[in-house]
Amino acid sequence: MAKLLEASLHGGGKSAAAFRTISEVAAELDVPQHVLRFWETKFNQVRPLKRGGGRRYYRPEDIDLLRNIRRLLYDDGYTIKGVQKLLREGALKSGANIAAAPVPQVASESAGGATMQASRALSSTQRQELRLVLEELKRLKALLDRGAG
């Protein structure tokens, strides 16, 4: 039973130690594939193996690191530069517990600080709803831009 549960949690039948493709990792982390490729350019610690044709294969420790990066960026309100700093300082390594990473102090009087504090108060469902609204607004803007041009 435990093996069945582990298989369902780790890519539908693959062992926990198996390498994963970019599509599997993107689905597991709930981010688009292009975001993973972008993160490779911003975080040189993310280095999947590349095989014939440039196909990427992520090791379990790569996925752990990406999961931590995702949580810092999407849930904890860090910027890319902030996460890069954590990685440089060694506070965040692949497989490291994200709770060990220091949370930045936010000045409540700054507009950016208020935004960051408010985003932490949102549930994951609310954040997802806001992302969907943002995507719809972007789509509508693109339609308006095409109509105006």
Find, among 106, 91, 95, the residue nearest to 60 by Cα.
95
The CA–CA distances, whole Å, from 148 to 38, 61, 62, 143 equal 31, 48, 45, 9
Lookup: tokens for 127 = 């954040």
User: pTM of the entire structure?
Assistant: 0.56
Task: Please count the CA atoms within 13 angstroms of the CA of 36 that sit on its side-chain side.
Answer: 25
The predicted pLDDT at position 18 comes to 85
Q: How far is CA 40 from the centre of its chain?
A: 11
Task: Please count the CA atoms within 13 angstroms of the CA of 102 that sit on its side-chain side.
Answer: 10
How far is the C-alpha of 1 from the C-alpha of 72, rounded, in Å? 33
The predicted pLDDT at position 3 comes to 40
Q: Give me the average pLDDT of each 10-residue run along the chain (149 residues).
A: 41 73 94 95 92 90 94 92 90 54 42 48 74 86 81
The predicted pLDDT at position 73 comes to 93
Radius of gyration of the chain (CA): 18
The predicted pLDDT at position 147 comes to 81
The answer to whether 45 touches 65, Cβ cutoff 8 Å, is yes
Q: Which residues have a Cβ under 8 Å from the Cβ of 20 and sit 6 or more positions away? A: 11, 14, 28, 57, 58, 63
